[in-house]
Amino acid sequence: MTETTDAKTRIADTVNAHDVVLYMKGTKAMPQCGFSSRVAGVLNYMGVDFEDVNVLADDAIRQGIKDYSDWPTIPQLYVKGEFVGGCDIITEMTLSGELDGLFEQNGISFNKDAADKIREANA
């Protein structure tokens, strides 16, 4: 098995094993880039239980996740195995309420009041 195939298999296993997965630089407790920090911050603030994968800890995953999603940047958010987007998309979806809808449709628990506060603060 090549490193690329192995990374792809590990990524598929991870996104299918957890309802919400964030591939990011750093961890949810200690993000190591502004974009990762913003997405992890939104998820943490909204009380979403998510799996964080630190791409800086594994070069095969760092490149593999870009190939897996055909998306060039990190962070990358997955909900129920589906790629949702990166920082700009998640920010837009949070502000429009679309992220709430996605979580509701998929039975992901989150704090609606916190989501509303984010929108109020950015109105």
Tell me the pLDDT band of 5, cut-offs 50, 70 and 90.
Answer: confident
Give me the mean pLDDT over the 79-95 stretch: 97
Tell me the pLDDT band of 4, cut-offs 50, 70 and 90.
Answer: low
How far is the CA of 123 from the CAs of 13, 56, 79, in angstroms? 38, 34, 26
pLDDT at 2 over 90: no
Give me the mean pLDDT over the 47-74 stretch: 96
Tokens representing residue 80 in the block: 């129920």
Task: Give the CATH H-level superfamily of domain 3-121.
Answer: Glutaredoxin (3.40.30.10)
pLDDT at 1 over 60: no
Q: Give the max Cα distance, the chain.
A: 50
Pairing of strands 76-79, 20-24: antiparallel
33 labeled binding residue = yes
Is residue 123 within 8 A of residue 115, CB to CB? The reply is no
Identify any residues that bridge with 22 across adjacent strands, giving them in sequence order: 52, 77
Tell me the pLDDT band of 92, cut-offs 50, 70 and 90.
Answer: very high
Domain ranges of the chain: 3-121
Q: Whole-prediction pTM value?
A: 0.94
pLDDT at 3 over 70: no
Mean pLDDT of the chain: 95
Tell me the pLDDT band of 123, cut-offs 50, 70 and 90.
Answer: confident
Tens digit of each residue's pLDDT (9 = 90 or more) over 15-48: 999 999 999 999 999 999 999 999 999 999 999 9
